[in-house]
Amino acid sequence: MSTIKSPRLPTYFISHGGGPWPWMKAEMGDTYARLEAALADMPRQIGRKPRAILMVSAHWERPRFTVQANPHPSMVYDYGGFPAHTYQVRYDAPGDPALAQRVQALIEAAGLPAGIDAERGYDHGMFSPMKAIYPDADVPVIQLSLRQGLDPAEHLALGRALAPLRDEDVLIVASGLSYHNLRAFGSQAAAPSRAFDDWLGQTLAQGDQAARAQGLIGWESAPAARIAHPREEHLIPLMVAVGAAEHEAAHRVYYENGFMGGLTVSSYRFGDAPGTQ
């Protein structure tokens, strides 16, 4: 009996928002309403529930690429100054140690350094957006660290190494933000965030995929680059999503002009999605 193969999954670069925002609606009102709607729409776009998610979070860096292999990850409350109840929130998705081994093997086969962490829990770069994407926590999730040094070319290569997972029903989600400067929010960030976001959109829209990659590698020369990203850990996950869908078009799936009093921010899907056709 022949088996009908599901279409390969797209990849995503998403904003994960600030801290534990899904659990703070009483305090924050509709601040995150548009982001939440965009995240909640991802299951419709991909058209089916994936067997697992590989999440690359801006909030985990290691000397080598490190894969989370905890079968029942705990919570890492990697934020400060939030209400007491947000240090008790839970997102109890299962891990997937077998998938972690598969991810490590793919990375090492590409000549990149990779390790396993059997203790690591979920940080808010994972559990905050996942609360909106799959609120029932019923899809296994493993996290993959960035590599210290934050070399964009190396993280593009990481994405290329991970691309086979898309044909194995694993959704690759890169979690960061297109603008991340905690010292320049509000109206003072309006112009630089818009300038950088415009550049990012133009770069990702290029039909020449080699030129797109080179533009991302040279991101520091973009308008307002170091205002938008004084440190680039929230941008570098994008490289993984692009690398894993290197020859596929970018589709902006979230855009907000005026977020948090002035920011222009965007999220992207790379590749086609059955639910959008």
How much is the average pLDDT of 29-47? 96
pTM above threshold 0.85:
yes
pLDDT by residue (tens digit) across 82-132? 999 999 999 999 999 999 999 999 999 999 999 999 999 999 999 999 999
> Which stretch of 2-11, 85-94, 194-203 has the lowest confidence by average pLDDT?
2-11
The mean pLDDT value for 206-228 works out to 96
| Per-residue pLDDT at 4 | 54
Question: 28 vs 22, 33, 78, 80, 260, CA distance in Å?
Answer: 9, 10, 19, 16, 11
Q: Which residues contact 16 (CB under 8 A, 6 or more apart)?
A: 57, 58, 124, 125, 126, 128, 129, 175, 176, 177
CATH architecture, range 11-276: 3-Layer(aba) Sandwich (3.40)
CA distance 140 to 130: 11
What pLDDT score was predicted for residue 135?
98
> What's the chain's average pLDDT?
95
Which of 116, 248, 238, 221 has the alpha carbon at shortest distance from 173? 238
Q: Supply the pLDDT for residue 277.
A: 72
CA angle 96, 171, 246 (to 5 degrees): 130
Residues in the chain: 277
Can you tell me the mean pLDDT for 177-201?
Answer: 89
238, 11 contact by CB (below 8 A) = no
Least confident of 1-5, 166-170, 182-186, 228-232: 1-5
Q: What is the pLDDT of residue 7?
A: 86
Which pLDDT belongs to residue 175? 98
